[in-house]
Amino acid sequence: MLRTIYWLIDFIIYLLYIFVQALRGKRMEKAGHTEEKRRFTQKTGQIWSSRLLRKTGSHIEVTGSEHVPAEGPVLIVSNHQSYMDIPLMVSVVPLPMGFVAKQELRRLPVISRWMDLIECSYIDRKDIRQSLRAIQQAQKSLESGQSMVIFPEGTRSKSREIGAFKPGSLKLAQKAGIPILPVAIDGSYRIYEERGRITATTVKVTILPLIPAETVVEESSSDLMSRVFGDIRQALGMEGLLSV
């Protein structure tokens, strides 16, 4: 429990730093310096995310970093076990990125301001039309050079299990004509979700080979989802490949 309290205090204090950095990034954005703003938010986000994870006392093991391209855009596709998966992505994939996130995150002070700055798209799972607009917005970000992260399960599994991917989750990569970078996360749920408090653990992150844009565009949406789902499941050492 003491670790949880310590982590929360550090998190709240560090929000002040993020607030100031968000103001700086916003000035870049208003001045039309999009690429400078993206590099700035990537560097700042990586420092913040690495700190959040380090303060949990956890050890992050990363394999496959060589598969990350030197520059984007790519659609980063990962399984989703924990709230910590967002800082995990930012800390281990050194590319400017936004997230396809749930609408509820817009209610978080400071964090929502930062997420807007990194061009996140918010999905309201109760509003199909709004969700479609959010996907279109994410597609535009990809086409303009910003990498995006999507968790196709739509919600945290809070375990090692992988839920079925939502239909059409990867279509934005196909429409934008950009590569997909699959990522397998193993153990992040143990940091908080398993016990309801911050717990030091080991998290393994496996970055899988990049799926080229040509393959993404040529494969059917269902075949592409099955392929990515199976690759992530296999990277986690799960026997048998479930259909999506």
Q: What is the pLDDT of residues 174-211, one digit of tens each?
A: 999 999 999 999 999 999 999 999 999 999 999 999 99
Mean pLDDT over 22-38 rounds to 96
Evaluated on CA atoms 178, 152, 42, 139, the torsion sign reads positive
103 pLDDT higher than 50: yes
The domains found in the chain, sorted by start residue, are: 2-235 (3.40.1130.10)
For the chain, percent of residues with pLDDT exceeding 90: 80
- Cβ of 5: how many Cβ atoms within 10 Å? 11
- Cβ of 3: how many Cβ atoms within 10 Å? 14
Confidence of residue 239 (pLDDT cuts 50, 70, 90): low
Mean pLDDT over 127-139 rounds to 84
Task: Tell me whether residue 217 is exposed, middle or buried, using C-beta atoms within 10 angstroms of its C-beta: 0 to 12, 13 to 18, 19 or more.
Answer: middle
Q: How far apart are CA 199 and CA 201, in angstroms?
A: 6
pLDDT at 193: 95
